[in-house]
Structures are given as C-alpha cells and as structure tokens.
Structure 1
Amino acid sequence: MATIEECRDALGRLAENLAGAEGDVRRAAALDRSVSCHMTDLDVTFTGRLVDGRIERVATAPGRPAERAQIRLAMASEDLLRLVDGELGFARAWGSGRVRLEASLRDLLRMRKLL
C-alpha cells in the first residue's frame, strides 16, 4: 500500500505529464472539468480541476468524495503509482476492474486519447 504523500506525488507527476503533452493528447487534456480520485485502500479522495491540460487545486479529504466530480476515478494506491510510472496500462487496469472511471460519454471519448 502506498502512502498519501506517494499518491500526491504521483498525481503531481501526472499533472506534469498532461501539461507537457502535445498533439492529440494535449487536445484531449484541454478539458475544464472537476476530477476526483478515490484511493480505495487508503479511503482518501484527491479532488481538483482539470484545466487546459493541468490539474489544479488538488485537495485531499478522508473517505469518498463529498461532491460528485465530472470525472471520477477509483483505484488502489499502488495501482495509481504503477499507472503513472507506466508499469500498468490504463486500458488493461480498467478492463480488469482494478481502476474505475466514471464520466460522461463525451468526456470518455475525449479522454481515451489520454489513456
């Protein structure tokens, strides 16, 4: 199990990757949406805002998200680290149920380029 700080660092690296993306990935990340990532094993939720390919205003709260974000992720903390480090493919993790992603169909279609 990863720590909350390790998860925060991983989300920071993900934000940097999104901010530095180009082409189709950059256009896909250019959403303005609220996001949440619930770490199921830590029972902690990170919330923030995806704006122009950056994740801003990241906050941490115990338990499940208090408000329903437009893009919602849920996974174990180790899976977050492995995803960000490139050791775990998102499509495989999502298909096997290790990662849950909930968003509007329109957002899912745009985000598939990120994943």
Structure 2
Amino acid sequence: MATIEECRAALEKLSDTLRGADGDVRAAAALDRTVSCHVTDLDVTFTGRLTGGRIEVDDTHPGPPRDRAQIRLAMSGDDLVALVDGELNFAKAWASGRVRLEASLVDLFRLRKLL
C-alpha cells in the first residue's frame, strides 16, 4: 500500500509532467481550478490548485474533502502512483470505477486532453 509521502511525491511528479507538457496538454493544464485528491485507502485528502500549468498542493488532511473543489479525484494510493508512473491507464481505471473524477462538463471536456 502506498504511503502518504509516496502519494504526495506522485502528485509532485504529475505536476512536473504537466508543467513540461506541450500543445493540447499544455492548454488543458492551463486551467485555474481548485483540486482535491482523496486517497481512499489512506483516508487522506490532498487539496490545492491547478494553476499555471501545474498542481500546487496546499494542504493534506484526514478524511474526505472538506470543501467541494472544482476538480475532484478519488482513488487508492497504489492507483495514484500507478497512474502517474504510466502503469495504469486512466480511461480504463475511470471506466471500471477504480478512479473517480468529478468536475463541470466544461472542465471534463478540457481535461480529456490530459487523459
């Protein structure tokens, strides 16, 4: 089972990847939105902001998200690490329910370029 530190490192790696992206991916990552990522097996939530083409994690707290972020993710820690490492396909994980993504329809349309 992934640790909180491994999950935080995965989010940092994802942020670095987004910052270095080009084209459509860069445009999709250019959103300015609040973000939460609930790691279900650790029952911890990372909160922050997608801004400037990167994810800035501001806080970590126990339990589910306290506030409703504009982009909300939920998954196990192992799935988060596997997604970021390219070992788990996001679309398949989302379709099977292993990963939950909630956002407005407009944001989902833009975010599809990241997937």
Q: Which category of TM-score, normalised to the shorter sequence, fits these structures?
A: over 0.9
| Alignment size in residue pairs | 115
- Percent same amino acid among aligned pairs? 73
Q: Which runs of 5+ in 1 are unaligned?
A: none
The aligned counterpart of 2:113 is 113
Please list, as runs of the form range in 1=range in 2, the aligned pairs for 1:15-30 lying within 5 A after superposition: 15-30=15-30
In structure 2, stretches of 5+ residues that fail to align are none
State the 1:74 CA deviation: 0.2
Match of 1:112, SS? Answer: helix
Partners of 1:108 and 1:80 in 2: how far apart? 19
C-alpha RMSD of the superposition: 0.6
Deviation (angstroms), 1:57: 3.9
Give yes or no for contact 2:70–2:104 (8 Å, CA) kept in 1. Answer: yes
1:10 corresponds to: 10
Shift of residue 55 of structure 1? 1.0
Does the residue aligned with 1:86 lie in a helix, a strand or coil? coil
- TM-score, structure 1 normalization: 0.98
Q: Structure 1 residues 90 and 71 mapped into 2: Cα distance closer, same or farther (>3 Å)? A: same
CA–CA separation in structure 1 for the residues paired with 2:104 and 2:8: 25
Q: After TM superposition, which residue ranges in structure 1, 4 or more long, deviate above 3 angstroms?
A: none
